[in-house]
């Protein structure tokens, strides 16, 4: 009997050890100390994480075939220390999320693209976006090349959730991070992109790379996001990459020191009642704000804040119409309390009669 008991004990211990080894990604992630901060005070969040089995961020949402598809970054635990270059955001793959409507069950469609299958990639798969054209789904992604310089790549699939097959080279002429691909009503597609600090946009002047280029001083003109028209095959830029002008209400460009309003990263474009809405993150002041214009190329006039700061350093939005309402997708760090382990969320976005967007507080 004693022998039977010790056998049972030994089996139980083995099962427990195996269970620990197979601990969920979340548990593993919670052991990571990069970006640790004091446990967040209990807050009433406006919305709940869309998924909790994996960490997700930078949600680019689209409606394809009547279903909502969300293309997020897939945050993972990393030993990299937190720094202004974003080394702690060391993502390895993408998972596409999908749902019939906001509030319906969310499907994690598994690995859509892994960094090992991108021939030119070095490290850090950051915020992606997707588009549909020519009977094909295109996934656009920023990743550092083997020289540690961010560029933007494209991968294709016959299904919105992938798996995607990456092109062998990055998009020629692309640089920096956070691609957003917008289809205008006339069928033309444009890519907006760029992000400063770790996103390296400050190193690109006149579309030329200078590894020694510094961030601008507070009294210098703010660094601007970029736009490029996409070719019909959706894999190339047609014409030059240009700067996107963002002006204040007096028609003046922002200075770097206007960092509660100037562009930092997370470009997104949507069109509402014929007006182009260019939204973005202000980075170190953590706002999501927007500017409007009458052409996809800009200029855009600053209008205000869409989303005030969330838990966590970064904030990255997308705006999409689904089921007759407009939605703001964003992320915070509710699940982990750590800067680099984020979770995507969604809340309704409302317009006033004059077309302005009602500001959203991410807490109740
Ligand atoms: O996810 C990595 C980076 O953090 C994104 O590219 C930025 O937009 C910020 O959210």
Q: What is the pLDDT of residues 250-289, one digit of tens each?
A: 999 999 999 999 999 999 999 999 999 999 999 999 999 9
Which of 86, 315, 332 to mutate to test ligand 1, by most ligand atoms within 8 A of the CB atom? 86
DSSP 245: P
Please state, for a pLDDT cut of 90, what percent of the chain lies above it: 86
- Gap from CA of 316 to ligand 1 centroid (Å): 7
Q: Is the CB of 360 under 6 A from ligand 1?
A: no
Query: What CA–CA distance (Å, rounded) separates 156 from 131?
Result: 10
Question: What secondary structure, in 3-state letters, does 134-188 show?
Answer: CCEEEEEEEEEECCCCEEEEEEEECCCCCCCEECCCCCCCCCCCCCEEEECCCCC
pLDDT digits (tens, 9 = 90+) for 310-336: 999 999 999 999 999 999 999 999 999
- Gap from CA of 314 to ligand 1 centroid (Å): 7
Q: What is the pLDDT of residue 40?
A: 52
Q: Is the CB of 177 under 6 A from ligand 1?
A: yes
Rg of the chain (C-alpha set) = 21
CA distances from 93 to 96, 165, 287 (A): 10, 13, 27
Which of 265, 282, 315, 333 to mutate to test ligand 1, by most ligand atoms within 8 A of the CB atom? 265
Instruction: Give the ligand 1 atom nearest the CA of 127.
Output: 6
Nearest to 322 by CA among 357, 361, 349, 299: 349
pLDDT at 82 over 90: no
Least confident of 84-88, 122-126, 236-240, 297-301: 84-88
| Active-site position among 32, 129, 265, 332 | 265
pTM score: 0.90
Q: What is the pLDDT of residue 77?
A: 86
Is residue 58 annotated as a catalytic residue, yes or no? yes
Encoded tokens for 52? 């909790």
- Confidence category of residue 81, pLDDT binned at 50, 70, 90: confident
Mean per-residue pLDDT, 196-200? 97
Q: Is the CB of 89 under 6 A from ligand 1?
A: yes
Mean per-residue pLDDT, 108-115? 98
pLDDT at 42 over 50: yes
Is residue 238 annotated as a catalytic residue, yes or no? no
Query: What CA–CA distance (Å, rounded) separates 62 from 311?
Result: 25
DSSP 19: H
pLDDT at 347 over 70: yes
Q: What is the pLDDT of residue 75?
A: 98
Q: Are 287 and 308 in contact (CB under 8 A)?
A: yes
Q: Is the CB of 178 under 6 A from ligand 1?
A: yes
Q: What is the pLDDT of residue 263?
A: 98
Query: What CA–CA distance (Å, rounded) separates 154 from 227?
Result: 16
């Amino acid at each position: 009997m004693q022998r039977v008991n010790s056998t049972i004990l030994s089996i139980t211990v083995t099962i427990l050890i195996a269970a620990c080894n197979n601990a969920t990604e979340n548990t593993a992630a919670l052991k990571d100390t990069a970006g640790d901060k004091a446990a967040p005070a209990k807050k009433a969040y406006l919305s709940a994480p869309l998924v909790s089995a994996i960490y997700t961020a930078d949600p680019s949402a689209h409606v394809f075939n009547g279903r909502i598809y969300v293309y997020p970054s897939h945050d993972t635990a990393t030993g990299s220390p937190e720094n202004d270059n974003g080394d702690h955001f060391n993502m390895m793959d993408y998972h596409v999320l999908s749902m019939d409507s906001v509030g319906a069950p969310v499907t994690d469609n598994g690995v859509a693209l892994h960094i090992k299958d991108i021939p030119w990639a070095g490290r850090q798969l950051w915020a992606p976006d997707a588009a549909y054209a020519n009977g094909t789904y295109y996934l656009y992604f920023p990743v550092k090349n083997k020289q540690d310089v961010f560029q933007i790549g494209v991968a294709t699939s016959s299904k919105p959730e992938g798996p995607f097959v990456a092109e062998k080279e990055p998009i020629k002429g692309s640089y920096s991070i956070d691609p957003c691909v917008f289809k205008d009503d006339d069928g033309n597609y444009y890519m907006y992109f760029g992000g400063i600090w770790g996103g390296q946009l400050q190193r690109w002047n006149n579309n030329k790379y200078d590894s020694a280029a510094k961030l601008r001083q507070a009294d210098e003109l703010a660094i601007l996001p970029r736009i490029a028209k996409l070719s019909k095959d959706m894999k190339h830029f047609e014409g030059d990459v240009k700067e996107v002008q963002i002006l204040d209400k007096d028609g003046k460009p922002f200075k770097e020191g206007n960092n509660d309003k100037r562009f930092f990263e997370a470009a997104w474009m949507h069109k509402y009642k014929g007006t182009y809405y260019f939204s973005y993150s202000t980075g170190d002041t953590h706002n999501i704000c927007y500017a409007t214009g009458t052409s996809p190329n800009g200029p855009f006039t600053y209008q205000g804040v869409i989303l005030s700061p969330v838990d966590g350093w970064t904030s990255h939005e997308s705006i999409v119409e689904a089921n007759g309402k407009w939605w703001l997708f964003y992320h915070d760090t509710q699940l982990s309390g750590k800067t680099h382990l984020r979770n995507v969320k969604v809340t309704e976005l409302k317009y006033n009669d004059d077309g302005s967007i009602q500001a959203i507080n991410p807490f109740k």
